[in-house]
């Protein structure tokens, strides 16, 4: 495993981040394809054995049971100081807004609940899961700064935002002497590259880490054409993101399979190796031990410039998809992204 610094922070992270959305009690969440605690523990333990020290979860994942599974496994298999744990908080609910709960109080409550779920005194990275249009940005940034000052979060990150939002928030934080976002978790992979327009160059300039989710496009970049899986069949959110551009994406998926076959490696390794040429640490989900083994191998695969260009060439611009398509005041209100199932991403 290879390691790097997470942006401007002093956190040393593995180049592969284990995404924990696939862990959790399926009876207490919206995903039917998640795995139970015993299976989660085996995957986490194997990841640790392979050198993965960076783990990403969220309070939204299966009603907090993902956090619970991860916390218990790490207590049993690792020393707290040897791992980097990230979790995420949701925007305020409509009920909280009506009750007058401020953004700062909301963040305090959410973080305390996540720490309880994890069984930890602090998280290394606390992530703003999606932009909250009904809460002033200034209130959010002060709440996050309070979490850092209290020692409950070492650093803060953001997910599902536009570059202008990140720039505005960090400029405000710098002006006030608050903690700034050190990482961005956006939607970025071989078949969805819209982050390259503004976010990626901005983050390079500012030394902000890119830790994208959906590294394998919900499994599409790990399966030969015609192959299927439980995740592909049951993940309605991934279908929402990718079904509309399946025809445009098919040539890239075929080229990924072609390079994998020629190199004698998995498609997973090729897709993640490509992403590792552009980001700090992709968040790679796993619901089987073999998934994390494939992801770890990718850290050692070096694609040639010709292979990278061959993968790059067929891409065409895509419309925004998933939660980012809802990242406007009107769309967010219409979709109720913070109070319905679409909040779990």
Residues with a catalytic annotation lie at 61
What is the Cβ-side half-sphere exposure of residue 173, based on CA atoms within 13 angstroms? Answer: 23
- 22: Cα separation from own chain's centroid: 12
- Cα–Cα nearest to 242, from 225, 218, 267, 226: 218
Phi, psi (rounded to 5 degrees) for 4: -155, 165
List alpha helices for the chain, DSSP H. 37-49, 65-77, 94-99, 103-118, 137-149, 163-176, 199-206, 230-234, 236-242, 246-263, 267-276, 289-298, 305-312, 329-335
- Cα–Cα nearest to 163, from 215, 131, 191, 203: 203
Strand ranges of the sheet holding 153-159, from the earlier edge strand across to the other edge: 209-210, 181-185, 153-159, 123-128, 84-89, 54-56, 17-19, 283-285
- Cα–Cα nearest to 144, from 111, 119, 95: 111
Distance of alpha carbon 77 from alpha carbon 272, whole angstroms:
26
Distance of alpha carbon 152 from alpha carbon 148, whole angstroms:
6
Distance of alpha carbon 229 from alpha carbon 252, whole angstroms:
19
13: CB partners within 8 A, 6+ apart: 3, 4, 5, 6, 53, 54, 84, 280, 281
Contacts 24+ apart (CB under 8 A), 196-200: 196/278, 198/162, 198/163, 198/164, 199/162, 199/163, 199/166, 200/278
Length of the chain: 345
Distance of alpha carbon 228 from alpha carbon 225, whole angstroms:
9
Q: For residue 57, what is the enclosing H or E element? A: none
């Amino acid at each position: 495993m290879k390691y790097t610094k997470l942006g401007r922070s002093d956190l040393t992270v593995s180049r592969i981040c284990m995404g924990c959305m696939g862990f959790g009690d399926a009876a207490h969440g919206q995903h039917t394809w998640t795995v139970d605690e015993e299976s989660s523990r085996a995957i986490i333990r194997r990841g640790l054995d392979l050198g993965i020290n960076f783990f990403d979860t969220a309070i939204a994942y299966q009603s907090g049971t993902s956090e619970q599974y991860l916390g218990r496994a790490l207590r049993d298999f690792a020393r707290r100081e040897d791992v980097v744990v990230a979790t995420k908080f949701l925007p305020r609910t409509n009920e909280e807004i009506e009750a007058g709960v401020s953004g700062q109080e909301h963040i305090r409550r959410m973080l305390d609940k996540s720490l309880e779920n994890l069984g930890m005194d602090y998280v290394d990275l606390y992530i703003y899961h999606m932009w909250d249009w009904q809460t002033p940005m200034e209130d959010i940034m002060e709440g996050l700064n309070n979490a850092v000052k209290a020692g409950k979060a070492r650093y803060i990150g953001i997910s599902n935002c536009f570059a202008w939002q990140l720039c505005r928030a960090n400029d405000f934080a710098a002006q006030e002497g608050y903690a700034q976002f050190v990482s961005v978790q956006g939607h970025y992979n071989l078949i969805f590259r819209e982050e390259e327009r503004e976010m990626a160059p901005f983050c390079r300039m500012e030394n902000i880490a890119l830790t994208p989710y959906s590294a394998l496009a919900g499994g599409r970049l790990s399966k030969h054409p015609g192959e299927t899986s439980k995740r592909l069949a049951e993940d309605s959110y991934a279908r929402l993101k990718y079904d509309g551009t399946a025809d445009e994406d098919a040539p890239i998926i075929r080229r990924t399979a072609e390079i994998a076959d020629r190199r004698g490696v998995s498609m997973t390794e090729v897709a993640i190796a490509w992403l590792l040429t552009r980001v700090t640490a992709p968040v790679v989900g796993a619901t089987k031990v073999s998934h994390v083994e494939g992801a770890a191998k990718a850290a050692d695969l070096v694609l040639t410039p010709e292979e990278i260009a061959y993968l790059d060439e067929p891409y065409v611009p895509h419309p925004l998809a998933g939660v980012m398509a809802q990242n406007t005041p009107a769309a967010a209100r219409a979709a109720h992204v913070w109070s319905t199932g679409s909040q779990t991403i």
